[in-house]
Amino acid sequence: MGIRLDKSWENLDPETIASLPAQLGVYHVADENGTVLSVGYAGARHLFGIRTALEEELRLHGDRASKFRYEFTSNYQSRWDELLMLHVYDHGQLPDHQRAEENRVGRLSPN
């Protein structure tokens, strides 16, 4: 098991979100081409965990967001940081709306 979030993509729609348990975790939200729009987490401030966080992502990205993948974890903050570092390693920068996080995110060499 590596550190990448490489689960299968699921459709990002209200029905799929409603079927998820209200748990803490991390996720990727992507467009139809698989371009990651958000590297996110569902933490203690999300009333219904990952369901609340993904509903927020739908409002933020609108029709551009079409799929997601996730991982449940109680260590969501540390895992989120890992995923942010991996995204910078793979793409050279974070998704547009998350660029403010780049200065606080460390560097990672997964290979």
List pLDDT tens digits, range 76-91.
Answer: 999 999 999 999 999 9
Q: Is residue 22 part of a domain?
A: yes
List pLDDT tens digits, range 38-86.
Answer: 999 999 999 999 999 999 999 999 999 999 999 999 999 999 999 999 9
pLDDT for the residue 61:
97
Question: How many Å apart are CA 45 and CA 47, to the nearest integer?
Answer: 6
The CA-CA-CA angle for residues 39, 30, 97, to 5°, reads 50
Q: Is residue 103 part of a domain?
A: no
**Secondary element (H or E) of residue 4:** none
Q: How many other C-beta atoms can be found within 10 angstroms of the C-beta atom of residue 104?
A: 8
Question: How many Å apart are CA 75 and CA 98, to the nearest integer?
Answer: 20
Quote the number of domains for the chain: 1
Q: Is residue 5 part of a domain?
A: no
Question: How many Å apart are CA 44 and CA 98, to the nearest integer?
Answer: 20
Q: Is residue 49 part of a domain?
A: yes
Q: Is residue 86 part of a domain?
A: yes
CATH of the domain at 22: 3.40.1440
Q: Is residue 109 part of a domain?
A: no
Q: Is residue 107 part of a domain?
A: no
Question: How many Å apart are CA 55 and CA 12, to the nearest integer?
Answer: 9
Residue 39: partners with Cβ closer than 8 Å, 6 or more residues away: 26, 27, 28, 80, 83, 84, 87, 94, 95, 98
pTM, two decimal places = 0.94
Domain limits for position 53: 10-97
How far, in Å, are 62, 63, 68, 92 from residue 71 at the CA level?
22, 23, 10, 23
